Amino acid sequence: MINIKLFTFNAYSENTYVLFDETKECVIIDPGMYEGFEQNELVSFIKENNLNPVLLLNTHCHLDHVFGNKFVFDTWGLKPQFHKGELQVLQSVPGYAPQMGFSKYELSPEPETFLEETGTVKFGNSTLELIFAPGHSPAHLCFYGKADGFLIGGDVLFYGSIGRTDLPGGNHQQLINNIETKLFKLPDAVKVYPGHGPATTIGFEKEHNPYF
């Protein structure tokens, strides 16, 4: 069984997730740590629970989701994995981070392994399925824990809302289509852990989300 620990980091209140199972292997998804105390909070949780980080995953590469990539690499030797279509997004971060007030952004390492549009990633005894859902960003991935009924959704679907599409590489109709044809096909009980804000469920959003 996969356990999920949520942290909310940086000025954008970004949700960082640590997933782990009974083997104590863990996955860090979208590390948003920017300040030292945020880095310490993540390290303390991993140490206190005797976890072994084995994967660093990014749903997409906007700055608030990759602030901690360099720290994770320096601490545990993990390079990020994401879809290759996000590489240009990652490479653009140093150019605009200072304009957004983030002058001490630490350059993220680039992947040695890219994720595909479909397939799985594995850690411990657990498997996450890849769901390709661009629209908020050009090659956004969600991670579906089918056996445990959850989705790490990044900035695709929020409680009562959807990801913004006015950033470079965004496409509103593409995002709507991907939510309808890929996410809304999941069971209603699937819990969605988004990149910002509270968790929700597929069933709740199908019924109440004003964008649908």
Q: Is 113 helix (H, G, I), strand (E, B) or coil?
A: coil
**What average pLDDT does this structure show over 122-141?**
98
Q: What contacts 207, CB < 8 A, 6 or more positions away? A: none
Number of structural domains (the chain) is 1
**What average pLDDT does this structure show over 120-149?**
98
For the cut 90, the answer to whether the pLDDT of residue 129 exceeds it is yes
* CATH number of the domain within which 21 lies: 3.60.15.10
**Residue range(s) defining the domain that contains residue 103:** 3-208
Please give the pLDDT value at position 210.
97
According to DSSP, the β-strands at 80-81 and 120-123 are unpaired
For the cut 90, the answer to whether the pLDDT of residue 139 exceeds it is yes
For the cut 90, the answer to whether the pLDDT of residue 207 exceeds it is yes
The mean pLDDT value of the chain amounts to: 98
Please give the pLDDT value at position 168.
87
Q: What contacts 178, CB < 8 A, 6 or more positions away? A: 132, 133, 134, 135, 156
Q: Could you tell me the sign of the dihedral formed by the alpha carbons of 64, 70, 76, 81, in that order?
A: positive
For the cut 90, the answer to whether the pLDDT of residue 109 exceeds it is yes
Q: Are 144 and 202 in contact (CB under 8 A)?
A: no
For the cut 90, the answer to whether the pLDDT of residue 118 exceeds it is yes
pLDDT digits (tens, 9 = 90+) for 36-77: 999 999 999 999 999 999 999 999 999 999 999 999 999 999
pTM: 0.98
According to DSSP, the β-strands at 191-194 and 150-154 are parallel
- Which residue, 167, 165, 169, 164, is CA-closest to 196? 164
pLDDT digits (tens, 9 = 90+) for 13-34: 999 999 999 999 999 999 999 9
CB crowding 160-178: b at 16 or more within 10 Å, else e:
eebbebeeebbeeebbeeb
